[in-house]
Amino acid sequence: MSDTERKLRMFEGLFEANAAVTSSLDRDEVLNLVMEKARELLNAEAASIFLLDEKTDELVLEVSTNLPQNSESKIRFPKGLGVAGWVAANGQPVVTKDISKDSRFYTGVQNKTGFHTHSYLCVPLKIKDRIIGTAQVLNCIGRDEFSEEELYIMEGFARQATIALENARLHQEELEKKRLEEELELAHRIQQQLLPEYDPQLPGYDITGFSFPSRWVGGDYFDFIQLPENRMSIIIADVCGKGVPAAVMMSSMQAVLHSLTGLNFSLQTTVHNLNRYICLNSTSDKFITNFYSELDYTKHTLSYINCGHNPPYLFRKNGTVEALLTGGLVLGVLEDTKYAFSETYLEPGDIVLMYTDGVTEEHNEQKEMFGENRLMELVSGITELSAGEILEKIYQAVMQFGKDGQEAEDDLTLVCIKRME
């Protein structure tokens, strides 16, 4: 083969490698094709790729052609060690006639593979200015060492390998994004199925609840459960966590809570049993903040237990504001937690506002939180509105305070109880 023919064959090999890169998104398959083509065209005994493990700062043998591995685990060694390690650390290629005479030579790979290297050509793999590994061909056949021209060709193969790696990474990210979107959509559907379909119609009361889910979470919950003797259970809760696991946990809590309320237990017994169930059926890093209350709409009393939830506010007709704090720990931490309860009388015109932390913890561009003070000030000025109008005003204010039209950082869930005058 003439020199011109050989050069043409090498460039044809690069085009073939490019075709391989664009034909598949299987990282290992493409890298093996590219490096086998490099080994073939540069007439070398073996070719390989080491990739940098950024967590350990080690080079790991990911691809090899004609290079035996006697070890069950992947060959790895610190970046900076050996010739390949030096190339990875410095970003410069190395071409040598006899690697064993190079002071940087590391025998560890040779000892593990049993492959003896003489002539050696190693180039860095780069994505922009970031080095992600090295590609090398070993032992040129029929000549003493690799040429400058072959170095240039090898750098072309290294670029093809890098493109293959980047394509595979982007493809994997896209798959992960799609999987996450499907999971979030499922969490959203689960969450919506938990929420009441209708507002309760109780004599003398205007009661409503809204949940505005963020795309990234599925853990907020509110509910209205009719009880005997003219009472209604009104609940708001928030699971620690996001996505499907949070939504499933909340779904489980709802099922247990509906079962417990059907047994007509006392307030404290209901919450105690709910906490016990969650402790026994969740991991230590999962818990639920919960405000559980029972409204007697003939006696106009609200009994409640606050399980580590943002304290609801009672806006009195006379202008004072009370935080409903009595209770105990969040649900799911300690099985034997004792919960205190409290009871308050609702006068005509009084308003109880329940909310999750997505309301008060919404941030603006200056990293300030909406906060409890803004919430109390806002509601104090709109107490003449209906329960639904109050919640709508809160939602609008929080959205305008945040990124103005952008998606909320967290679920925004609100419940309003207003005793009519």
Q: What is the pLDDT tens value at each position of the chain, 421 positions in all?
A: 556 565 556 556 555 656 555 556 677 787 888 888 888 888 899 999 999 998 999 999 988 888 766 544 688 999 999 999 999 999 999 999 999 999 999 888 888 888 889 999 999 999 878 899 999 999 999 888 998 888 888 888 888 788 878 877 888 888 888 887 787 777 677 677 778 989 999 999 999 999 887 655 567 889 999 999 999 999 999 988 666 777 778 888 888 888 888 888 899 999 999 999 888 887 777 789 999 999 999 999 999 999 999 999 999 999 999 999 999 999 999 988 999 999 999 999 999 999 999 899 888 888 899 999 999 999 999 999 999 999 999 999 998 888 655 555 667 899 999 999 8
Please give the structure tokens belonging to residue 194.
């938990």
Q: How many CB atoms lie within 10 A of CB 97?
A: 14
Enumerate the H helices of 2-104 as residue ranges.
3-23, 27-41, 82-90
Q: Does domain 195-419 have CATH number 2.60.40.60?
A: no
pLDDT for res 9? 61
**d(C-alpha 74, C-alpha 82), whole Å:** 17
Strand partners of residue 76: 60
Buried b (16+ CB within 10 A) or exposed e, 149-161: ebbebbebbbbbb
**d(C-alpha 46, C-alpha 38), whole Å:** 9
Domain ranges of the chain: 3-173, 195-419
Phi, psi of 362 (to 5 degrees): -65, 135
CB contact at 8 A, 61 and 104: no
Superfamily of domain 3-173: GAF domain (3.30.450.40)
Total-model pTM: 0.61
Please give the structure tokens belonging to residue 143.
């000549």
CB contact at 8 A, 111 and 105: no
CB contact at 8 A, 161 and 78: no
Q: What is the DSSP letter of 209?
A: E
pLDDT for res 42? 87
Answer whether 3-173 and 195-419 agree in fold.
no
- Long-range contacts formed by 192-197: CB under 8 A, 24+ apart: 193/251, 194/221, 194/223, 194/250, 194/251, 194/254, 195/221, 195/222, 195/223, 196/222, 196/223, 196/224
